[in-house]
Amino acid sequence: MATVLDDIISGVREDLKTRMRAIGPVQIIEQAAAAPAALDAAAMLAAPGPVKIISEVKRKSPSKGELATIPDPAELAGSYEAGGATAISVLTEQRRFGGSLDDLDAVRERVRIPLLRKDFMVSEYQMFEARAHGADIILLIVAALDDRQLHDLFQQSADLGMTALVEVHDEHETERAVELGARVIGVNARNLKTLEVHREMFGKLAHLIPDDCVKVAESGIRGPEDIAYYVSQGADAALVGEALVTGGEPSQAVRTMIEAGARARQGVA
Ligand SMILES: O=P(O)(O)OC[C@@H](O)[C@@H](O)c1c[nH]c2ccccc12
């Protein structure tokens, strides 16, 4: 039976064909080469200091439907940056998440911190496209890729100077990510095949991830308490979407999460 992830990816491949007809492979490679160099996001995420918040521009999702209209994604990203976010995640998947590369462009013009192109990466073309539109980080979802694809896209991200956030949801996927040599590994609490959230997954998998990797807790983070919980479980960073786009006061929300993380690390949460 086709999973939600399979359905999303077949839509992604359809939309990809349309974009490839408009801008061919030679052209996209040239555009990627002409873009200013990517920021070293892995180093910024690995730097000492409080928990790193990756704040997401997210309009809707397959699990929750409409979350926020976000008429001005650059404005939202600017607020995240002002609140102390280490990086901004911009969903570019159109059908299920209501994002676009235009959003990525708009955010790139506004902020100086690293940008994650959040999409379902299944082809080399998308990697050049990410770089051409100013992304510093790309997402590789282990569940969506076979070993060959995972290896090739990981290598390509390095060749383009980008950081790969390698996303896992179970033990086997975590082993594959570690074997790959990933420096930044995200544990997605949401199973993309069923959309169920399992917040305990981070704690179950974190010990399989070497200490010199950045450990990112992803999805289902409702507020500062969840940040404190993940920090106590060893998270170096957290990726937050819904709670920031629906809560109002995005700057303050980011700030409060960072403070909660700092308190948890000192053991006074
Ligand atoms: O809105 P949330 O529950 O805070 O989740 C953010 C982020 O983790 C989530 O958007 C996400 C994690 N992995 C993904 C892969 C594709 C699309 C989306 C995602």
Q: Is 58 in the pocket of ligand 1 (CB under 6 A)?
A: yes
Q: How confident is the model at residue 269 (pLDDT cuts 50, 70, 90)?
A: very low
The full set of domains in the chain, from first to last, is 4-266 (3.20.20.70)
Tell if the pTM clears 0.90, that is, is over it. yes
**Long-range contacts at 38-43 (CB < 8 A, ≥ 24 apart):** 38/114, 38/131, 38/135, 38/136, 38/160, 38/161, 38/162, 38/163, 39/113, 39/114, 39/136, 40/163, 41/87, 41/114, 41/116, 41/136, 41/137, 41/162, 41/163, 41/184, 42/163, 42/183, 42/184, 42/214
How far, in Å, from the CA of 241 to the mean position of ligand 1?
7
Nearest ligand 1 atom to the CA of 221 is 4
**The amino acid at 68:** A
pLDDT of residue 268: 57
- Convert the pLDDT of each residue in 183-208 to its tens digit: 999 999 999 989 999 999 999 999 99
How far, in Å, from the CA of 26 to the mean position of ligand 1?
31
Q: Is 257 in the pocket of ligand 1 (CB under 6 A)?
A: no
pLDDT of residue 266: 87
Mutate to test the pocket of ligand 1, among 167, 192, 218 (most ligand atoms within 8 A of CB): 218
What share of the chain in percent tops pLDDT 70?
A: 99
Q: Is 99 in the pocket of ligand 1 (CB under 6 A)?
A: no
Instruction: Look up residue 47 and give its two tokens.
Output: 């730097």
Hey, which residues are catalytic here?
56, 58, 118, 167, 188, 218-219
Q: How confident is the model at residue 1 (pLDDT cuts 50, 70, 90)?
A: confident
Euclidean distance between CA atoms 9 and 248, whole angstroms: 31
How far, in Å, from the CA of 114 to the mean position of ligand 1?
17
